[in-house]
């Protein structure tokens, strides 16, 4: 019991942090926001899955993937394909020249449901595919890149290129994927209408619970020996390798885990928002998700959730009110965070917020402890300049 408390919740401080987040998204938001704003928060929380995954693989593992949108998108598309098939039963599509197939296929003169779509009639297959397809892709990419000891910068560029390829492919194959509009007009899940307010509320809670589950799982991984190895690898990869660990396998694992988290987020996105389109797959959304994690704090699972909420709120607010300013703000925020606050909000909280809070509430006793804790977590490499090491792979 004690063990589970330590590893899942991360001790007292971790438990309090998690509790605050859980109360915020499970109680405060549903009570305080109207259904429109709440579904917006629900949408943002689906991005938080990706950010949490990025904390694992980027913050701790040192693997910056610029293609998390791939996995978010694949998860979302798997779910959307199932929902679309359900929405296009022969009865409701009888005005088409071929009833029973999704409307965009009909517009593209396709007369028969393609092979790729067939298995998505089954809900259990879809659930499996949501997790398996992105994770397997991550496994393939991971094996190909990490077993060959591709450097981290190269990895970022290749993942970005894969995101670009996937977007072009989805947009190009209009008959199969709905093209640039994506898969729209999703209505029911096994006969249950997902569009009315009550079902949206239920989906919001499912989403929030899954997110907290992912955070817990992330905590579990990070507090285990694997988490320590990840950090060791990030800071001195060669030394870990020489100690006899198979560095590539750990990297592959954490990359796959992050991909699976993103896929869950994507599937929940399709369920909550009711469509899926290539604009959530490509380079720009992928980097935006990195921003979420960077602003929230690349070393903090909870910080990533707050970062996602904050940046997304900011984006919605500013792009509604001052569309001109938004990109300046977003770009500027990103430059400032990366250059001056590499640990994001969570880092600021560790260094200032907690100090302030403990002085406020508990006196100066706890204060010394938290500083020590912050130092143990010390995230950003203060590496000595190593000019071209990052660029070369071991011959």
Partner 1 sequence: MDVSLSEFGAIAIMQGFNGLSVFCVLLLMALGLAIIFGQMGVINMAHGEFLTVGAYTTYVISSLTLQYFPAMQPYYFFFAIIAAFVIAGALGWLVESLMISKLYHRPLDTLLATWGLSLVMQQAFRSIFGAREVGAEMPAWIMGSWAPSEAIDIPRNGLFVMGLTLLCTVTIFLMLYRSRWGLQVRATMQNRVMSRAVGINTKKVDRMTFALGCGVAGVAGAAFTTIGSTGPTAGSLYIVDTFLTVVFGGAASLVGTIASAFSIAQAQSLMEFFLSGSMAKVLTLSAVILILMVRPQGLFSSKVRK
Binding mask 269-288 for partner 1 (x = CB under 8 A): --------------x---x-
Q: Rounded to whole angstroms, how far apart are CA atoms 20 and 259?
A: 26
User: Does the footprint of partner 1 cover residue 334 (CB under 8 A)?
Assistant: yes
Q: How far is the CB of 168 from partner 1 (least distance, A)?
A: 5
Q: Rounded to whole angstroms, how far apart are CA atoms 28 and 244?
A: 48
User: Does the footprint of partner 1 cover residue 310 (CB under 8 A)?
Assistant: no
Residue 142 CA, distance from chain mean position? 17
User: Does the footprint of partner 1 cover residue 9 (CB under 8 A)?
Assistant: no
What are φ and ψ of residue 192, in 5° steps? -100, 120
Taking CB under 8 A as the binding criterion, the range among 31-39, 69-77, 346-354, 378-386 that sits at the site for partner 1 is 378-386
Q: How far is the CB of 193 from partner 1 (least distance, A)?
A: 36
Phi-psi region of 276 (alpha: psi -120 to 50; beta: other; left: phi over 0): beta
Q: Rounded to whole angstroms, how far apart are CA atoms 215 and 300?
A: 10
User: Does the footprint of partner 1 cover residue 318 (CB under 8 A)?
Assistant: no
Binding mask 171-200 for partner 1 (x = CB under 8 A): xx----------------------------
**Max alpha carbon distance in the chain (Å)?**
75
Identity of the residue, 7 or 160, whose beta carbon is nearer to partner 1 in the bound complex: 160
Strand, coil or helix: 189: strand
User: Does the footprint of partner 1 cover residue 162 (CB under 8 A)?
Assistant: yes
Q: Rounded to whole angstroms, how far apart are CA atoms 80 and 209?
A: 21
Q: Rounded to whole angstroms, how far apart are CA atoms 316 and 295?
A: 16
Nearest C-alpha neighbor of 259 from the set 70, 47, 82, 66: 70
User: Does the footprint of partner 1 cover residue 391 (CB under 8 A)?
Assistant: yes
Residue 56 CA, distance from chain mean position? 10
Give yes or no for a contact between 59 and 45, defined as CB atoms under 8 angstroms apart. no
User: Does the footprint of partner 1 cover residue 327 (CB under 8 A)?
Assistant: yes
Q: How many residues of this chain bind partner 1 (CB under 8 A)?
A: 57
Binding mask 342-361 for partner 1 (x = CB under 8 A): x-------------------
What is the b/e burial string over 19-54, where b = at least 16 CB atoms within 10 angstroms of the residue's CB?
eebeebbeeebbeeeeeeebbbbbbbbbbbbbbbbb
Identity of the residue, 338 or 366, whose beta carbon is nearer to partner 1 in the bound complex: 338
Q: Rounded to whole angstroms, how far apart are CA atoms 128 and 191?
A: 20
User: Does the footprint of partner 1 cover residue 394 (CB under 8 A)?
Assistant: yes
User: Does the footprint of partner 1 cover residue 239 (CB under 8 A)?
Assistant: no
Q: How far is the CB of 312 from partner 1 (least distance, A)?
A: 16
Residues of this chain, 114-153, that bind partner 1 according to CB under 8 A:
144-145, 148-153
Taking CB under 8 A as the binding criterion, the range among 21-29, 157-165, 189-197, 205-213 that sits at the site for partner 1 is 157-165
User: Does the footprint of partner 1 cover residue 19 (CB under 8 A)?
Assistant: no
Q: Rounded to whole angstroms, how far apart are CA atoms 68 and 154?
A: 15
Identity of the residue, 97 or 388, whose beta carbon is nearer to partner 1 in the bound complex: 388
Q: How far is the CB of 149 from partner 1 (least distance, A)?
A: 7
User: Does the footprint of partner 1 cover residue 240 (CB under 8 A)?
Assistant: no
Residues at the contact surface with partner 1, assessed by CB under 8 A: 64, 66, 144-145, 148-154, 156-158, 160-162, 164-165, 168-169, 171-172, 283, 287, 290-291, 294, 324, 326-328, 330-335, 338-339, 342, 380-395
């Amino acid at each position: 019991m004690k063990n589970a408390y330590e590893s899942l919740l991360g001790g007292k401080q971790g438990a309090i942090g998690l509790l605050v987040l859980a109360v915020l998204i499970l109680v405060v938001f549903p009570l305080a926001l109207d259904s429109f704003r709440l579904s917006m928060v629900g949408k943002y929380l689906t991005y938080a899955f990706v950010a949490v995954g990025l904390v694992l693989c980027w913050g701790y593992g040192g693997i910056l993937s610029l293609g998390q949108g791939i996995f978010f998108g694949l998860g979302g598309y798997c779910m959307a394909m199932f929902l679309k098939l359900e929405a296009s039963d022969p009865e409701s599509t009888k005005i088409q020249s071929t009833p029973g197939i999704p409307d965009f296929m009909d517009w593209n003169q396709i007369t028969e449901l393609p092979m790729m779509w067939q298995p998505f009639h089954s809900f259990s297959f879809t659930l499996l595919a949501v997790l398996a397809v992105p994770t397997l892709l991550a496994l393939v990419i991971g094996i190909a890149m990490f077993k060959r000891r591709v450097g981290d910068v190269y990895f970022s560029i290749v993942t970005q290129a894969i995101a670009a390829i996937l977007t072009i492919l989805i947009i190009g194959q209009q008959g199969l994927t709905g093209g640039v509009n994506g898969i729209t007009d999703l209505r029911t899940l096994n006969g249950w209408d997902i569009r009315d307010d009550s079902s949206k509320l239920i989906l919001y809670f499912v989403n929030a619970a899954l997110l907290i589950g992912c955070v817990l799982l992330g905590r579990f991984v990070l507090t285990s020996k694997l988490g320590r190895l990840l950090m060791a690898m990030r800071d001195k990869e060669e030394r870990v390798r020489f100690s006899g660990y198979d560095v590539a396998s750990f990297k592959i694992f954490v990359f796959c885990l992050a991909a699976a988290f993103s896929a869950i987020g994507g599937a929940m996105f399709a369920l909550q928002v009711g469509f899926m389109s290539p604009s959530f797959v490509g380079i720009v959304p992928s980097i935006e998700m990195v921003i979420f994690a960077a602003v929230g704090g690349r070393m903090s699972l909870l910080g990533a959730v707050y970062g996602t909420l904050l940046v997304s709120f900011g984006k919605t607010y500013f792009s509604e009110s001052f569309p001109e300013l938004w990109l300046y703000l977003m770009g500027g925020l990103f430059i400032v965070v990366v250059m001056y606050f590499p640990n994001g909000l969570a880092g600021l909280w560790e260094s200032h917020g907690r100090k302030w809070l403990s002085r406020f509430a508990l006196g100066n006793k706890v204060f010394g402890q938290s500083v020590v804790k912050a130092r143990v977590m010390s995230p950003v490499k203060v590496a000595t300049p190593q000019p071209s090491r990052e660029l070369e792979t071991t011959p």
